[in-house]
Amino acid sequence: MSINKDLFSHIYENCVSIITNSLDINIKKKKVKLDSAYQTLSETQDHELQEFYSIVHELRFYQYMKNLGKHIIAADDNKAGPDFNTELGYIECVCASKGATGTLERKCLDERLNQSMNRYIAALPRLSSVILDKKKKYESYLRHNKIDEKKPCIIAINSSIFSNEFNSDLNLDLILKILYGIGCTTMRFNLETNQFLEDAECESRLYEDTGLKPPKNIELQFNYFSEKEFENISGVILNNNSIGEELKKEYFCLFLNPFARCPINVSLLDNIRYFQLSEMNAQHFTYCWHNK
């Protein structure tokens, strides 16, 4: 499949502008990586080139945080540590990809994406995988004293490759499943009126604690934030827009870990859409969106 040259040229030029206008020396150094990725993209016509998506994600994330008025400093790519140090905490960026071509896992994923129903489920194991990978990376940073253990650790995921395939909001459903065990949405059906009840209070969400990863149907554990091994991850940010869309508030969602060792300061989130556990008792966990 050939690339949309006008689209990717526009994305490249926007990223060049971010670099040019930045005073951060480590952002300026990313020009070499951006140019290399863009050249590879142009030569290979690979419209899902992971190298290009990754550097675009970092630069757009950096600029979006700057536009929000948040203090953010880029790390030196040649040194071990998270990509950014911000007033919210450390940020480690990652793109969810479809995986290596030619593998059995990729074949199953592509087959699922070609289906007409529930195609978005194909992204579930890929999103799960990048979260686990970055959790291990933070553990390594902490173990080797590369970061301050008293600062929150945040993973920032870009799901553009999958958001190019289906409605980007569906990535939110997958993240809710992975992080909190919240499953599919259900609505009540009124037999007397022969219609679904659309009142928001009638909407409920099923709970799911495990899933299956094809093709070997390996069990995937959900509800990561309930596990003690995730206490070092303070939150996960999802940028769930397609690569051709501008990064906006509705595409920038922060999911807070209610059991984090170092919680994120919510007073700094006045202009960020975030998801939080608001009440917990013996019968129920109640979660709420803020700043929608």
For 183-212, how does the pLDDT look when each residue is reduced to its tens digit (9 = 90+)?
Answer: 755 434 455 655 544 444 434 444 455 444
Mean per-residue pLDDT for 34-45? Answer: 96
Give every CB contact of residue 135 below 8 A, 6+ residues apart in sequence.
155, 229, 230, 232, 233
- The CA-based dihedral angle spanning residues 31, 37, 42, 48, taken in that order and rounded to the nearest 10 degrees: -130
pLDDT band at residue 65 under the 50/70/90 scheme = very high
Of residues 255, 254, 274, 263, the one with CA closest to residue 234: 263
Confidence at residue 61, expressed as pLDDT on a 0 to 100 scale: 98
- The answer to the question of residue 257 being in a domain is yes
Residues 106, 125: contact at Cβ < 8 Å? no
- In single-letter form, the type of residue at position 36 comes to S
Asked if residue 254 belongs to a domain, the reply is yes
| pLDDT tens sequence across 85-111 | 999 999 999 999 998 888 888 888 898
- Residue whose pair of structure tokens reads 């259900």 in the numeric block: 186
In a domain, 147, yes or no: yes
Whether the per-residue pLDDT at 74 is higher than 60: the answer is yes
Where on the phi/psi map is residue 251: left (φ > 0), alpha (ψ -120 to 50), or beta?
alpha
* 49 in a structural domain: no
Domain span at 141? 79-290
Whether 50 is covered by a domain: the verdict is no
DSSP β-bridge partners for residue 273: 253
Q: Give the chain's domain count.
A: 1
Query: 221: helix, coil or strand?
Result: strand
Could you tell me the pLDDT band of residue 28, with boundaries at 50, 70 and 90? very high
pLDDT value of position 216: 47
> In this prediction, what percent of the chain has a pLDDT beyond 90?
67
**Does the pLDDT of residue 72 top 70, yes or no?**
yes
Rounded to whole angstroms, how far apart are CA atoms 217 and 2? 33
Residue 208 lies in a domain: yes
Q: Over the range 52-76, which residues count as b (16 or more CB within 10 Å of their CB) and which as e?
A: bbbbbbbbbbbbbbbebebebebbe
Q: What is the residue whose two structure tokens read 């495990």?
A: 210
pLDDT tens readout for residues 4-21 = 999 999 999 999 999 999
Over range 149-159, report the average pLDDT: 97
The answer to whether position 25 is within a domain reads no
Which carries the bigger pLDDT value, residue 202 or residue 255?
Answer: 255
Looking at the domain assignment, is residue 3 inside a domain?
A: no
